[in-house]
């Protein structure tokens, strides 16, 4: 069996894949992110992710940061709109040390006020850095446009005003309300016997009290396409075009991912790159993305354009979308698109850290983990008719939203 599963009595789940390598990877993914925040908590999930490294009931901040680093391991964390993840990469013999530390900082962090004060300044600088990068900021602003007024539309970093007001009481409240044990997945890829791994996970995580999730997140239901232009002091015009799309468990997710890869994926032969950059030399940065959430999704195109070439570039973009709506892929085109996508996924899964995180998210959002072979079968089963149907729905010009950063 490629993936091995185990569930603790408190609801925390474990997924593992054996890999006969020198380095192993494991982490815990918690189904709580910026989407779970109330308005006054905006930025709190990300703030907690920073704060968990600042000391526990038995470790000062230095000892947290040095516990794995001192043996050459790499400890890290991230926050998304729907998840918080703490993970590490390490030599195989340090599984015990790694799981103990991840458990300690996840469940025993003390969030000392002195350390929180310093981390507020760090995050405020992170916000300043983010605002200095329009090519990054426009993605969050675009989702704010799509999910107007909904928690999914808020960026992950939060606001400077909110961050200054966060304290341990707010942290404790958020974690009590959102860190549910049945919404936690421990994921592992490495060289360890599964029975031994279960023993370690039981040792460090079974004592956590059950805290099951009884509320669903507020659904997003009322999408209205919108267009907005903002003037900024940039050298380029930055533009986002897109629509809401399919959720993580929708049957259209895999065909949509294939379509997105064909249109503007990482391949230099994507339709957008060939039409905009290679053929006409217009935009150095051009890409499309499909991001599925638990109950909805986002399709977007990003362009960094010379100020004098905006209209011409957008003409070619809309033309590519029109071609995909109106002209079905031929058998050879579809076969080539599938082969390319399958190859790219194989390369992605060669990176065991990426695979480990993907396994955990899949189990969290869909209660299962598909093998690469099963994923390939799903891709191979996609028809030209499905691609055409999805293109007509998601690329409908009347349903597209547009956000533009115009250069002053």
CATH code, 288: 3.30.830.10
Residue 217 lies in a domain: no
Residue 396 lies in a domain: yes
Asked whether residue 43 carries a pLDDT value surpassing 70, the answer given is yes
Cβ pair 112, 55 in contact under 8 A = yes
Domain boundary among 205, 239, 261: 205
The phi and psi torsions of 265 (rounded to 5 degrees) equal -70, -170
Domain boundary among 143, 171, 205: 205
Residue 215 lies in a domain: no
Task: Give the integer Cα–Cα distance in Å for 270 and 356.
Answer: 28
pLDDT band at residue 1 under the 50/70/90 scheme: low
User: Could you tell me which residues come within 8 angstroms of residue 184 by beta carbon, excluding any fewer than 6 positions away?
Assistant: 11, 12, 13, 28, 29, 30, 31
Residue 219 lies in a domain: no
Residue 193 lies in a domain: yes
Handedness of CA 179, 183, 188, 189 (dihedral sign): negative
pLDDT band at residue 75 under the 50/70/90 scheme: very high
Claim to verify: residue 124 and residue 168 sit in the same structural domain = yes
Query: What are the structure tokens assigned to 66, written together?
Result: 């040095």
Asked whether residue 41 carries a pLDDT value surpassing 80, the answer given is yes
Asked whether residue 262 carries a pLDDT value surpassing 80, the answer given is yes
State mean pLDDT over 341-366: 96
Query: Given this model, what pLDDT does residue 182 score?
Result: 97
pLDDT band at residue 407 under the 50/70/90 scheme: confident
Query: Given this model, what pLDDT does residue 215 score?
Result: 85
Claim to verify: residue 194 and residue 326 sit in the same structural domain = no
Claim to verify: residue 139 and residue 88 sit in the same structural domain = yes
Task: Give the integer Cα–Cα distance in Å for 168 and 171.
Answer: 5
Query: Given this model, what pLDDT does residue 213 score?
Result: 87
Query: Given this model, what pLDDT does residue 154 score?
Result: 95
**Average model confidence (pLDDT) across the chain:** 96
Claim to verify: residue 183 and residue 236 sit in the same structural domain = no
Claim to verify: residue 69 and residue 9 sit in the same structural domain = yes
- Per the structure, the complete domain to which residue 302 belongs is given by 227-407
Claim to verify: residue 66 and residue 168 sit in the same structural domain = yes
Task: Give the integer Cα–Cα distance in Å for 221 and 152.
Answer: 12
Claim to verify: residue 48 and residue 157 sit in the same structural domain = yes
State mean pLDDT over 292-307: 96
Q: Of the candidates 16, 139, 148, 163, which has an alpha carbon nearest to the alpha carbon of residue 80?
A: 139
Query: Given this model, what pLDDT does residue 312 score?
Result: 96
User: Could you tell me which residues come within 8 angstroms of residue 328 by beta carbon, excluding any fewer than 6 positions away?
Assistant: 384, 385, 387, 388
> β-strand 285-292 against 297-305: which pairing, if any?
antiparallel
pTM: 0.95
Count up the domains in the chain and report the number. 2
pLDDT band at residue 310 under the 50/70/90 scheme: very high
Asked whether residue 340 carries a pLDDT value surpassing 80, the answer given is yes
State mean pLDDT over 237-241: 97
Claim to verify: residue 136 and residue 237 sit in the same structural domain = no
Asked whether residue 164 carries a pLDDT value surpassing 90, the answer given is yes
Claim to verify: residue 122 and residue 55 sit in the same structural domain = yes
What kind and span of H or E run contains 323? helix 310-326
Asked whether residue 313 carries a pLDDT value surpassing 90, the answer given is yes
Find tokens 């015009």 and name the residue: 237
Claim to verify: residue 44 and residue 81 sit in the same structural domain = yes
Claim to verify: residue 34 and residue 143 sit in the same structural domain = yes
Query: Given this model, what pLDDT does residue 217 score?
Result: 87
């Amino acid at each position: 069996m490629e993936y091995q599963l185990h569930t603790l009595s408190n609801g925390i789940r474990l997924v593992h894949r054996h890999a006969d390598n020198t380095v192993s990877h494991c982490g815990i993914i918690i189904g709580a992110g910026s989407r779970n925040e109330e308005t006054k908590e905006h930025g709190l999930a990300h703030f907690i992710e920073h704060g968990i490294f600042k000391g526990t009931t038995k470790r000062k901040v230095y000892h947290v940061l040095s516990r794995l680093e001192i043996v050459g391991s790499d400890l890290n964390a991230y926050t998304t709109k729907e998840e918080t993840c703490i993970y590490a990469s390490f030599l195989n013999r340090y599984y015990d040390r790694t799981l103990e530390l991840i458990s300690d900082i996840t469940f025993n962090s003390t969030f000392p006020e002195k350390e929180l004060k310093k981390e507020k300044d760090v995050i405020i600088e992170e916000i300043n850095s983010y605002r200095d990068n329009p090519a990054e900021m426009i993605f969050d602003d675009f989702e704010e446009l799509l999910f107007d007024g909904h928690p999914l539309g808020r960026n992950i970093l939060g606001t400077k005003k909110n961050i200054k007001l966060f304290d341990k009481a707010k942290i404790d409240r958020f974690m009590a309300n959102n860190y549910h044990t049945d919404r936690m997945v421990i994921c592992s890829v490495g060289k360890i016997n599964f029975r031994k791994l279960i023993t370690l996970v039981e040792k460090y995580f079974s004592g956590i009290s059950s805290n099951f999730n009884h509320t669903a997140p507020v659904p997003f239901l009322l999408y209205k396409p919108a267009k907005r232009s903002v003037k900024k002091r940039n050298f380029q015009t930055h533009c986002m075009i897109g629509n809401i799309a399919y959720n993580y468990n929708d049957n259209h997710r895999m065909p949509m991912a294939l379509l997105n890869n064909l249109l503007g994926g990482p391949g230099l032969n994507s339709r957008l790159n060939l039409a905009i950059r290679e053929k006409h030399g217009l935009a150095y940065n051009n890409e499309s993305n499909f991001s599925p959430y638990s109950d909805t999704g986002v399709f977007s195109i990003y362009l960094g354009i010379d100020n004098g070439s905006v209209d011409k570039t957008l003409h070619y973009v809309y033309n590519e979308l029109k071609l995909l709506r109106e002209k079905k892929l031929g058998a050879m085109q579809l076969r080539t698109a599938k082969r390319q996508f399958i190859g790219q996924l194989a390369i992605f899964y060669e990176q065991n850290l990426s695979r480990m995180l993907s396994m955990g998210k899949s189990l969290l959002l869909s209660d299962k983990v598909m093998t690469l072979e099963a994923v390939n079968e799903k891709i191979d089963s996609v028809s030209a008719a499905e691609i055409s149907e999805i293109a007509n729905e998601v690329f409908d010009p009347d349903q597209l939203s547009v956000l533009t950063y115009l250069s002053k």
